Every structure is written in structure tokens, then in C-alpha cells.
């Protein structure tokens, strides 16, 4: 399965400004407790990167971690991490690009779907952890999406659209 690589800039976010806004929203005390830092580190996180005393903040560090995972074929782990962060908002990660089929023939893509779905069903029957099952479900959905993209391409070629 071919993975979508991270985009350079889908949205531009100055994380040090975002952290200042978060601190103002939730209170300084809650901010310090959530991050487990003291006032001096708090100030460093909320400084622009050009400042001499700036330190890489937790948001930037997590983004680096996700980028490193994606670059080392750790897409599923990166996906799980982002989904874990988004869960309090009742959200899950969704690709912003169309999937790229990794097969040329529709039947081969359908076989990928079947294999992914069969593995999902086996994991559920075996009682695997919810997070592991959800990772496989995401893989299964991506495989199906790849099949649909290829089907649409093939249909256009045959004049069915």
C-alpha cells in the first residue's frame, strides 16, 4: 500500500503563538500543569524561534516525531498518535489527498481489499486490542479507497463516466 507523505504546509501555524493563545484560554496554571513545566520553560515555549532563549515546544516536537515516523514507514504509528490526540474532540485523522493505488489492475486492488478485511476480521475474532484493530481498520479503508480510485480511472478509460 502506497502511503501519502506529509505535506509541507497544509496550514501555516506559528506554534509559539498557538501556545500563547492556549495558555490564555485555559489559564496559566492549567497550562503549566498539562505540560509539566515551570514558568521559565513556559516563557521559552512562547517565544518566537528567532529569540535567543527559544526552546522547541511540545507541539513542534510531536510534529517532528510524526514526520520521522512517516519517513520510516511508521505511518500507522503516526496515524495512531494523531488519532489519540484528536480523540477528545471526537475526531479521527482523514487523508487530505486521494489515495494512490499501488496496483495497476483492478482485480489486484480488490485482492488487497480482501486481504486487509480478512485480517481485520481475524483480529476482531482473536480479541486483539481496540487500538490494533482500529489501525487495521484504517488500513482496510485505505485499501478500499485505492480500489475506488483505480475503478474510477478505469471507468473513465472505458467511457462509463
Residue 31 has pLDDT above 50, yes or no: yes
Residue 3 is assigned to a structural domain of this protein:
no
Residue 49: DSSP 8-state: T
Question: Strand, coil or helix: what is 158?
Answer: coil
Q: What local confidence, expressed as pLDDT, does residue 128 receive?
A: 97
Residues 88 and 115 in one domain: no
The reported pLDDT for the residue numbered 52 is 66
Q: In total, how many domains does the chain have?
A: 3
Domain that holds residue 81: 58-94
Q: Report the distance separating Cα 156 and Cα 161, nearest Å.
A: 5
Length of the chain in terms of residues written: 161
Residues 148/103, Cβ–Cβ less than 8 Å:
no
CB atoms within 10 A of CB 69: 19
Q: Is 56 left (phi over 0), alpha (psi -120 to 50) or beta?
A: beta
pLDDT, one tens digit per residue, over 46-73 is: 888 776 666 688 998 999 999 999 899 8
The answer to the question of residue 17 being in a domain is yes
- pLDDT value for 9: 44
Nine cell digits for residue 114: 480482501
Percent of the chain scoring above 90 in pLDDT: 58
User: Per the structure block, which three cell numbers stand in for 105?
Assistant: 489492475
**Per the domain annotation, does 117 fall within a domain?**
yes
- 145's CB contacts (< 8 A; 6+ apart) are 95, 98, 99
What's residue 106's pLDDT? 95
Centre a 10 Å sphere on the Cβ of residue 73 and count the other Cβ atoms it contains: 9
Q: pLDDT tens-digit profile of 91-123?
A: 988 877 888 999 999 999 999 999 999 999 999
Amino acid at each position: 500500500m502506497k502511503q501519502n507523505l506529509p505535506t509541507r504546509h497544509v496550514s501555516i501555524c506559528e506554534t509559539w503563538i498557538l501556545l500563547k493563545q492556549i495558555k490564555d484560554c485555559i489559564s496559566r496554571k492549567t497550562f503549566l500543569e498539562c505540560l509539566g513545566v515551570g514558568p521559565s520553560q513556559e516563557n521559552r515555549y512562547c517565544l518566537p524561534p528567532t529569540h535567543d532563549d527559544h526552546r522547541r515546544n511540545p507541539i513542534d516536537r510531536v510534529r517532528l516525531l510524526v514526520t520521522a515516523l512517516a519517513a520510516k514507514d511508521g505511518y500507522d504509528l503516526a496515524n495512531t498518535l494523531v488519532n489519540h490526540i484528536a480523540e477528545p474532540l471526537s475526531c479521527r485523522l482523514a487523508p487530505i489527498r486521494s489515495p494512490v493505488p499501488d496496483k495497476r489492475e483492478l482485480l489486484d486492488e480488490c485482492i488487497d481489499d480482501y486481504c486487509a478485511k480478512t485480517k481485520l476480521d481475524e483480529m476482531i475474532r482473536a480479541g486483539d486490542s481496540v487500538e490494533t484493530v482500529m489501525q487495521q481498520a484504517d488500513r482496510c479503508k485505505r485499501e478500499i479507497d485505492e480500489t475506488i480510485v483505480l475503478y474510477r480511472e478505469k471507468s473513465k478509460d472505458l467511457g462509463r463516466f
